[in-house]
Amino acid sequence: MIMLLLRGFIFLLSAALGLIVADWVLPGFSIDWSDWQGFALAVVIFAVLQSVLAPFIMKMTHRHAPAFLGGIGILSTFVSLLIVEWLVDGLNIGTPVVLTWILAPLIVWLVTALATWLLPMVFIKRKVEERRAPAL
């Protein structure tokens, strides 16, 4: 149960990192930092959409367009960003529209993938070290 919660936390943290990096790097991608609740809602919705859409898009792509299977993560990130941008006021993807909508999913996907891969090593390493430490 603890590992499931830890994985959920890591997934949420990686989604937040992906959105934050896109905000820093892309001029057309903006997070309203005065509305932290909007950002938190955007992160939760984005993470849930990613976890639901990725398997669905994978299944549909596998069935109808197998040549595109490599782009599933980026495509599900694009669809998730589109829905979050539409639902939440705290996230805005604007000018330059085409460039931002091409680069935002790539950046968010890349950062999320790296964070999802690297963060467990940090948390699991810490947990292992705690268990190996002698009890006082």
- Round to whole Å and give the CA distance between 81 and 75: 10
Is 19 a residue whose pLDDT tops 90? Answer: yes
**Per-residue pLDDT tens for 40-87?**
999 999 999 998 888 888 888 878 877 777 788 899 999 999 999 999
Distance of CA 1 to the CA centre of its chain: 22
Within 13 Å, how many C-alpha atoms sit on residue 2's CB side?
3
Cα 59 to Cα 23, 48, 68, 72, 85: the distances in Å are 31, 17, 11, 10, 25
Q: Which two tokens stand for residue 20?
A: 């934050």
Task: Note if the pTM is more than 0.95.
Answer: no
DSSP state of 66: G
* Percent of the chain whose predicted confidence (pLDDT) is above 70: 96
Q: Would you say 105 and 78 are in contact if contact means Cβ atoms under 8 Å apart?
A: yes
**Interaxial angle between packed helices 2-25 and 97-132, expressed in degrees from 0 to 180 and rounded to the nearest 10:** 140
Amino acid at 93: I
